[in-house]
Structure 1
């Protein structure tokens, strides 16, 4: 059997594309329950502690020794080098046109953009795009499963939990590089480490959104579900699906306002 990861990936893409084209699946409705909430809350607290003690300080240090332009260049590089993940999942979802556009973006930024450090493709009406195996499973009709918070990995679902191992193993050049090299002091993992630091660094700007939120766990859970919903429906989820996810028929607005006021009063006292 060939050990070439690109060749194996192309075979898997081709086979799955045939399956996709032969089966017209309907996207399963989103779940709104949280059957593992007790476990999830414990994992959320664990991840939050690890973040505050170890991960966030590294990201803050990264921001102190870099400029916004430097961070943008690094982010551009990783967004470009991980584009094969998006292209592969475009094909798996039976979207050859979208795969072609993203391939064009990848080629332009890799060449004219100096290995993706710059983004000339956006100026050529090829805006950034992303896709993953979790969205592919949703397109195939796989239900999302229960909401989960995993140690270090963070929020996911029973369906989305498969996107990390599949995308990383088959479609991610950064993971390919780490697997195919054995450098001194495990230096082959430095690109992956820098990528994670870059992601955490970019999230610092959004930390102000948590101010005044009386239950951060619920905030992150709902935000994750809504973001995934928009990704699955290509940015245009049906109104009834949004209403189902938000649970507007079952929400007591007055009770939510009262809980928020009690939280703010307790915080102020």
Structure 2
């Protein structure tokens, strides 16, 4: 009797241990499946939000980033009066732009993004920040010339002050005492911004190889500035090209993960990034015109 009772309890104990082991073994797999399903559901929800023009929050290792997917109809990009006439975009070269966009995405996915991931792994964020500061400081003379050409003398004075302070106290621009000690904000100005100041239109939307979304005005700005960039005055080619390419790569490394996430969630990535670019241009031009009207 006792022997049978002991045998029953032993068998029951072994059954419970076996069931527990199976449950423990399956739990990680079950959790992984649930997480995968949840991620797909979240991605589908984000796609629907993008389609309907709603903001989307994208999770990256650098934190959550909120973006707006569609062009905001503030005012037409070339319409100073803001009457809303004209198309929301000007993309007569769409076939060509899509081909360049596909080439760029292939380059990002298989070359630049893996390189950026390794760069972020090797170089700490604090060091990357200082590298970015140094390149921004090298550009200050170019900002100065563009602000002078636009008649923006206050901003040009800020460029001169920042370059003098950060090149000396800031150890060749690695640090930004002009901002932190003297409260002199950065006043970046490109040739494209100066042309915009004189009401030169942006022209057709244009996707630039590697550089990404742009327009004919920004392309002209980049080409012209490449001949007078301070780095070209300090370093002979081809070394100057390598340095400036590294500057662009350093900027891209901080955006690579965000780009990848947005590309995956957009129904039509080409239209999404085109709209993001045009929206930013419209917003900048709208507030520029509004500021001019307020000053008048």
For the criterion TM > 0.5, the same-fold answer is yes
**C-alpha RMSD of matched pairs (Å):** 2.3
Cα deviation, residue 113, structure 1 = 0.3
1:29 to 2:79 alignment: yes
Q: Which residue of 2 aligns with 1:113?
A: 170
Name the counterpart of 1:152.
Answer: 210
What is the alpha-carbon distance in structure 2 between the residues aligned to residue 62 and residue 120 of structure 1? Answer: 27
Q: In structure 1, how many angstroms separate the alpha carbons of the residues matched to 2:198 and 2:227?
A: 20
Partner of 1:227: 280
The Cα of 1:231 is off from its aligned counterpart by 4.1
Name the TM-score, length of structure 2 as normaliser.
0.63
Q: Does 1:138 align with 2:196?
A: yes
1:81 counterpart residue number: 138
Seen in structure 2, the aligned counterparts of structure 1 residues 213 and 36 have a Cα distance that, compared at 3 Å, is same
Query: Mean alpha-carbon deviation: is it higher for 132-141 or for 27-36?
Result: 27-36
Deviations 1:61-95 (CA, angstroms, capped at 9, x unpaired): 21111101110110110011111221111111111
Structure 1 distance, partners of 2:241, 2:174, is 20
Shift of 1:126: 1.0
1:204 aligns with 2:262: no
Q: Distance in 2 between matches of 1:154 and 1:71?
A: 22
Match of 1:217 in 2: 270
Q: 1:166 aligns with which of 207, 212, 224?
A: 224
TM-score by length of 1: 0.69
Gaps of 5+ in 2: 1-76, 81-86, 291-296
Larger C-alpha radius of gyration, 1 or 2? 2
Q: Does 1:102 align with 2:159?
A: yes
Assess, with a 3 A threshold, how the Cα gap between structure 1 residues 64 and 220 changes in structure 2: closer, same or farther.
same
Aligned to 1:195: 247
Do the aligned partners of 1:112 and 1:120 also contact (CA within 8 Å) in 2? yes
Going from structure 1 to structure 2, the CA distance change for 1:236 and 1:94 (only over 3 Å counts) comes to closer
Q: Distance in 2 between matches of 1:211 and 1:52?
A: 11
Stretches of structure 1 that go unaligned for 5 or more consecutive residues are 1-26, 239-269
Aligned to 2:234: 177
Aligned: 1:63 with 2:115: no
Q: Tell me, yes or no, if the aligned pair for 1:28 and 1:138 is still in contact at 8 Å.
A: no
Secondary structure at 2:206 match in 1: strand
For residues 73 and 232 of structure 1, what CA distance do their matches in structure 2 show?
Answer: 31
Q: Provide the secondary structure at the position in 1 that maps to 2:172.
A: coil
User: What CA distance in whole angstroms lies between the structure 2 residues aligned with 1:230 and 1:131?
Assistant: 16
Q: Deviations over 1:136-170 (max 9, x none)?
A: 11112212111011322322212221111212212
Separation of aligned partners in 2, 1:230 and 1:68: 30
Partners in 1 of 2:155 and 2:213 — Cα distance? 27
